[in-house]
Amino acid sequence: MSDQNQYVREYLANERTYLAYLRTALALLSLGISVNRFSLFLLERNRIPETSTSGQTLVGAEQLGIGMAVIGLLLLVWGTVHYAIVYRQIASQSFRPNILSVWVLSGIVFVAALVGFAWLFTR
């Protein structure tokens, strides 16, 4: 019975990991769409001019929102594929952690953060 509990815990841990990917993807999608739509709303209503004398603009906010939504979609696909791979590995008792995926995902987030900071401080 303890062997079965071991597998149940592994499957549930895999599902929790997938749900974390899903929550993060939904948050990125929601925030990206919100940033995109709100920046367009402000521009259309002439609340904030496209260029102002203080140098503050909304140029790039639309692209930032689209980028966040695209990253959210990619993260959703990544999480689903990762879940399926780990599920099969647990079932066949051949699970091996994939350190490459951790480095790739961390690298993508790091580059996105650098681009975000560069965008933030150049506007």
On the question of pLDDT at 22 being above 80, the answer is yes
Write down the pLDDT at residue 23: 94
CB atoms within 10 A of CB 79: 20
pLDDT tens by residue, 39-85: 777 777 765 555 555 445 556 777 888 888 998 999 999 999 999 99
Give the pair of three-digit tokens for residue 55.
């140098």
Mean pLDDT across the stretch 33-43?
80
Of residues 117 and 91, the one with the higher pLDDT is 91
Write down the pLDDT at residue 55: 46
Mean pLDDT across the stretch 113-123?
74
Tell me what percent of the residues of the chain surpass a pLDDT of 70. 84
Model confidence at 10, in pLDDT bands (50, 70, 90)?
Answer: very high
What is the residue whose two structure tokens read 């929102």? 65
- Under the phi-then-psi rule, with left for phi > 0, alpha for psi from -120 to 50, and beta for the rest, what region is 96? beta
On the question of pLDDT at 89 being above 90, the answer is yes
Q: Which residues pair with 51 in a beta bridge?
A: 57
Please name the residue ranges forming H helices in 1-123: 2-44, 61-91, 99-122
Residue 74 CA to chain centroid, in angstroms?
7
Q: Is the pTM of this model over 0.75?
A: no
Of residues 47 and 22, the one with the higher pLDDT is 22
Write out the DSSP string of 36-56: HHHHHHHHHTTSS-SB-TTS-
Mean pLDDT across the stretch 6-35?
91
Contact status, residue 73 vs residue 80, Cβ threshold 8 Å:
no
